Amino acid sequence: MPEVQAPVAKLDLKIFNGGDKSTWCPGCGDFGILAAIKQALPGIGVAPHQVMLVSGIGCGSKLPHYMRANGFNSLHGRALPVAQGIKLANHALKVIAVTGDGDGYGIGMGHFMHLARRNVDITHIVENNQVYGLTKGQYSPTSERGYISSFSPEGALEYAVNPILLAVAGGATFVARGFAGDVKQLVWLIQQAVQHPGYALIDVLQPCVTYNKINTYEWYRARVYKVDEEPGYDASRRDLAFAKAQEWGDKIPTGIIYREVGRPTYEEQVTALKAGPLVSQPLDGRLADYEALKNEFI
């Protein structure tokens, strides 16, 4: 596994500890994701005041509440546009959006695709447990066709969304998959994603121990493998990424599936941001413009 690219001053691993007491079910895969984020950020020299965690609605969207860092708990499916707004207001922040599979790939699907093509410098971590956990076990966009639950006794009728394939096709410059049962790999993926200039998706396979009795830790461990340990795999090649994105079943690839370097981020192309983050730019000289804009809404 390659090392983190840039040399940094590592911080105390406990620096992000804090927040509310967790209400997640014991054994939930969200715990692995939370642990990975807490370890990844200080490992690359990111302090709590330098990061903004944005979430939507769902079990995993409580994650910002369980950390000592800036956090914004937004609406269901709307974490990504909120994250983009925060990034444009202060692009010096490391912005991390945390959504579930229902939140991010259901009502939030349109935002997911547009953020990918814009290449906004945001890390998007999706807690993919293939079920709606918070609302008691309905099948989600990533549930397999035929998935049976108390809400779908005849099985899910739709085919499952393939987020890895969609992200590569949609223009994302960093596409990865992790597993909540492999925190070490997930730490590395988060570090790579946060340091990547542009939109970075990490689809994290994580068991729901209460409602999804199929995709368990044991089920995943029997199938996942690391693409970076596969001889000859080149994550810069889209053709290989497309093929790898379609692997599912007996073998499920994890790691960096696709990475493109050199494409400018959305923020780099916004003229108003060339003088620095908006929050640090002086208002002098444009107060009349701001007052006129304000008066339009009064």
Is residue 126 one of the residues assigned to a domain? Answer: yes
Is residue 149 one of the residues assigned to a domain? Answer: yes
Look at 139 and 251; give whichever has higher pLDDT.
Answer: 251
- List alpha helices for 144-279, DSSP H: 163-170, 183-195, 217-221, 238-245
Q: Which pTM was predicted?
A: 0.91
Q: What is the pLDDT of residue 47?
A: 95
Is residue 142 one of the residues assigned to a domain? Answer: yes
Is residue 286 one of the residues assigned to a domain? Answer: no
Is residue 263 one of the residues assigned to a domain? Answer: yes
Tens of pLDDT, residues 13-41? 899 998 889 999 999 999 999 999 999 99
| Averaged pLDDT for residues 94-99 | 97
Place of tokens 């922040």: 93
Q: How confident is residue 1, by pLDDT bands cut at 50, 70 and 90? A: very low
Is residue 287 one of the residues assigned to a domain? Answer: no
Is residue 165 one of the residues assigned to a domain? Answer: yes
CA 217 from centroid of its chain's CA atoms: 20
Euclidean distance between CA atoms 87 and 278, whole angstroms = 10
Is residue 121 one of the residues assigned to a domain? Answer: yes
Pairing of strands 252-259, 224-226: parallel
| Averaged pLDDT for residues 156-185 | 96
Q: What is the pLDDT of residue 296?
A: 94
Q: Is the pLDDT of residue 3 over 50?
A: no
Task: Work out how many domains the chain is built from and give that number.
Answer: 1
E strands present in the chain: 51-55, 70-73, 94-100, 123-128, 174-179, 200-205, 224-226, 252-259
Residue 62 · residue 105 · CB < 8 Å = no
| Domain CATH number, residue 126 | 3.40.50.970
Q: Give the domain range for residue 97.
A: 30-269
